[in-house]
Amino acid sequence: MKPQRAPVAFLVAVLLGSPIVFASTPVRKLTRRIPLHIDTAQWHGAESRLVADGWAPIHSSVTLARAADGSPLATVTADGKGFWQLVLASPTPVPCRIRAQVVESGETDERDVAGAPSNCDVASPPPTGSHAGRFTTYEGTKTCLACHLTQALEMHGSVHYQWLGDASEAVGLSTSLAGKLGGINDFCVYPDINWIGKLTNVAGQQVDGGCARCHTGLGAKPQPQPSQEQLENIDCLLCHSPIYKRKVESVNGAFRFVPDEAAMGVGVLNAATDIHLPDKNTCLNCHSKAGGGNNYKRGDLEEAHRTATASFDVHMAPQSAGGAGLDCLDCHTTAGHRIAGRGVDLRERDLPDMVACTNCHPQQPHGSATLNGHTARVACTACHIPEFAKVAATDMERDWSLPGELDPATKLYEPHMLKASHVQPEYRFFNGRSQFYEFGTRAVPQPNGRVLMAGPLGSVQDAGAKIIPVKRHLGRQPQDPTTGRLLPLKIGVFFSTGDIGAAVAQGAAAVGWPYEGHQFVATERFMGLFHEVAPASQALQCATCHDQNRLDWAELGYTPLATRNGKPLCESCHGNKGTLTFYKLHDKHVRDKRLDCSSCHTFRKAA
């Protein structure tokens, strides 16, 4: 029997790799089965979203679950090409690893979730705070706006958000609105070009950076118009959720603050539903670290205020420890998210209400007429804050001309600082107005050789001006040798590298100024001291000022006249009486003879 030849069509099909079709076989389209695969799994902390995608058999159902315990997340369906995607808002807890399973076949695949927080797979307890049950997903400030639009509009216009405000009490500025933004200082220098970002320390680690870490926004700079974008940029939780913490991440190509669930130890929903009014701990989270570290800037606001004793701060110590048990907002009263108070070196005022001791205490609070006689000219704080920086040392001089110092904890460079604790204040008259250096103008030194960055106005001649205690901060700052302008720094460059030259050059470029080198100029700033009030038993005694010369009387304008009626002062009335103590001299002329101050000085007695 002869072997049968294969049909020509069969041979051609084999050679070409084509499907084999016989005349008796019905024609059908053959498709390739797509296996299950997870391509990506990513946690987007900024939006609190889990995004995963991949491939599976066409039109199959894919169940996604936590790999750790198999608890389901969602079920998706592969499309006509086999592609599937999961976008899941606020899974609690965030999974460390996910498992996908094809429902029809049981086929599985797993993948780690990139960017998952360190507390992934750790379940948060059910929300139990004041807003528990009012919403089940937190979408950032947009969630808050559903009920609190009026409050958001208030906050948007406040100094804590705008970093600008009414500057009518600031002298030396050309604008009616001023504040941190647009102003240069002698600490971290210029916020406008150092807003938010990531720094690389000497160990190669990325760390959060920028002045906005203490701004009440989510990373965008404040704008004057309350657009929807601006309102959603307000970070309500920063002041209203005690457990809330945040970190810097790149979101859609821009740095933004996102919830740091790992640091909180719970999901953002727990933080967003645990809402409270601010207390002193809220305020200290930012204000105690001003200037770059604990108590660096103000000198009288430090971490020790969280657990204050009466000897440390009699106002903020709890009543159980012998204090008044006050919180910040007891003195810094609020209205419409605006806060009362303006220190000596603050350009702006947020609320016209005054913060004054007489809001609680009488104008003449002492049982002694002699002490009460001082209140017209001497602020209460002058006697009741005998020292500051009682626990943490404060920055007394910051010299940018000297090499930076590497902080072993952060592995970032810090400027050269002279710090001190238990510091005795200096004293100046203050009439409620302050002098400022304006950014972009020639910095002209005073007779003492220092450029005044900020300082109190007032003298013994001013009716209503009082002697207040101040911290005097010294600095050496870069200056343009041609224009005389103080130069800003790209502060992150310095923190990361310690290279002041590069930081100054890049700072000038960032504000659009030509850079042709720099020199250094001495500066000074005066800051009022209002915290760390001592108990009455620790207040200054009369002899401290009048016998021991704690105050610089000449600086304050108390130097007696040299002559009177054409004769040496004392001899204009009587012969030489020898050397007398202050008390005997003062009592003889003021109490016995009832002479006005102007008889021997250049000023009259305060009303």
Question: Does residue 1 have a pLDDT over 60?
Answer: no
Are 111 and 50 spatial neighbours (Cβ–Cβ below 8 Å)? no
Q: 201: which 2 tokens?
A: 């320390």
| Weakest-pLDDT range from 117-126, 299-308, 504-513, 521-530 | 117-126
pLDDT at 56: 96
pLDDT at 577: 77
Closest CA to 471 of 399, 355, 387: 387
Give the largest Cα separation in the chain, rounded.
160
pTM above 0.85, yes or no: no
Average pLDDT of the segment spanning 368-397 = 96
Q: Which domains does the chain have, with CATH numbers?
A: 1-122 (2.60.40.10), 141-528 (no CATH), 560-607 (no CATH)
Pairing label, strands 97-102, 108-112:
antiparallel
pLDDT at 9: 37
Tokens 């009587």 belong to residue: 574
Average pLDDT of the segment spanning 352-376 = 94
Element (H, E) at 495: helix 491-497
Are 423 and 495 spatial neighbours (Cβ–Cβ below 8 Å)? no
Encode pLDDT of 424-479 as tens digits.
999 999 999 999 999 999 999 999 999 999 999 999 999 889 999 999 999 999 99
Encode pLDDT of 216-254 as tens digits.
999 999 999 999 999 999 999 999 999 999 999 998 899
**72-77 sheet: strands from edge to edge:** 72-77, 61-66, 97-102, 108-112
pLDDT at 31: 52
pLDDT at 13: 36
Residues in contact with 7: Cβ distance below 8 Å, sequence separation at least 6, in sequence order: none
Distances (CA, A) of 324 to 91, 94, 186, 312: 44, 44, 34, 12
pLDDT at 574: 86
Average pLDDT of the segment spanning 485-507 = 98
| Weakest-pLDDT range from 113-122, 159-168, 337-346 | 113-122
pLDDT at 505: 98
Pairing label, strands 567-568, 563-564:
antiparallel
Residue 434: count of CB within 10 angstroms of its CB: 25
In the chain, DSSP finds a helix count (H) and a strand count (E) of 16, 27
Give CA–CA dist 253/340, Å, rounded.
Answer: 37
Give CA–CA dist 579/597, Å, rounded.
Answer: 20
| Range among 113-117, 525-529, 583-587 rated most confident | 525-529
pLDDT at 14: 36
| Residue of higher predicted confidence among 57 and 18 | 57
The per-residue DSSP string of 314-373 comes to TTTS-GGGTS----HHHHS-EETTEEB---TT-S-BSBS----GGGTS-SS-SS-HHHHT
Give CA–CA dist 374/271, Å, rounded.
Answer: 50
